[in-house]
Chain A
């Protein structure tokens, strides 16, 4: 069965303490892997699309990477405003996007 698994479920970092979030997937025929940010009570906000192993995308303090079985979202020197839930989603056959359960990130000043 196709699965998207994110770890850890929750992560607390001190401001400036870099770390990585993981998204592992077992879907066949991957057409894309996506990272979203979701603030409480809001809809997810698109961050990155990755299409092939070895691809990397960067935006401010965030960098997303992709291998054949997982993706990492690296957060460098995070700030309190980076606190949010980060969701990973995969797109394979059809037009459905399957989301993981997310990693809740808290950055402490």
Chain B
């Protein structure tokens, strides 16, 4: 069990640039989640995939954010035209379809927008 891996772990970018994060879930997990976490806050739901289908998106997710999960394996989260308010830890989690409770989180990708 190699766990959920995320890349890059840290990203510093200038306002207005585009950034992309990658998540590799645990191989047998069908469900994949993206969360955002800022300092002192709990993780905030962004979006959810079952296999390759994006089934839910937070209404807080602006149109600058897009996520994909081609072939139901790894996932990417792209942020276009980054803003300073996008600075946060972006967490990916995966779970088995049959287990609704236990999310396995990666170590996150920390974004700093200057």
Question: Nearest-CB distance from B74 to chain A (Å)?
Answer: 17
With A95-B48, A96-B48 already in contact, the answer to whether A31 and B100 are too (CB < 8 A) is yes
Given known contacts A43-B91, A43-B107, A43-B108, A98 and B102 CB-to-CB distance under 8 angstroms: no
Contact of A49 among B42, B56, B58, B102 (CB under 8 A): B102
Contact assessment for B56 and A94 in the assembled complex, using a CB-CB cutoff below 8 Å: yes
Is B19 positioned at the interface, with any CB of A under 8 Å from its CB? Answer: no
Q: Shortest distance in angstroms between A32's beta carbon and chain B's nearest beta carbon?
A: 5
Which listed residue, A34, A96, A101, touches B101 by the CB 8 Å rule?
Answer: A34
A-chain residues with CB within 8 Å of residue B41 when the two chains form the complex = 101-102
0/1 interface trace, chain B 86-112, chain A, CB 8 Å (1 if under): 000001010000001111111110000
CB within 8 Å: A-B pair count: 60
Q: How far, in angstroms, from A58 to B44 measured CA to CA in the complex? A: 27
- Chain A: which residue is nearest B42 at the CB level? A99
For chain A residues 20-36, which have a beta carbon within 8 Å of chain B? 31-32, 34
Q: With A and B bound together, what is the CA distance between A102 and B40 in angstroms?
A: 8
Chain B, interface residues (CB within 8 Å), range: 20 to 34
Q: How far is the CA of A49 from the CA of B100 in the complex (A)?
A: 10
Q: Scan B45-56; emit 1 where CB is below 8 A from any A CB, else 0.
A: 100101000011
- Tell me the bound Cα distance from A89 to B93 in angstroms: 14
Tell whether B43 is near chain A: CB-to-CB under 8 Å: yes
Min CB–CB distance B6 → chain A (angstroms): 8
Q: List 18 A-B contacts (CB under 8 A).
A: A32-B101, A34-B101, A34-B102, A41-B108, A43-B93, A43-B106, A44-B91, A44-B105, A46-B102, A95-B48, A95-B50, A96-B58, A97-B45, A97-B103, A99-B43, A99-B44, A101-B42, A102-B41
Identify the A interface with B (CB < 8 A). Answer: 4, 31-32, 34, 41-46, 49, 87, 89, 91, 94-102
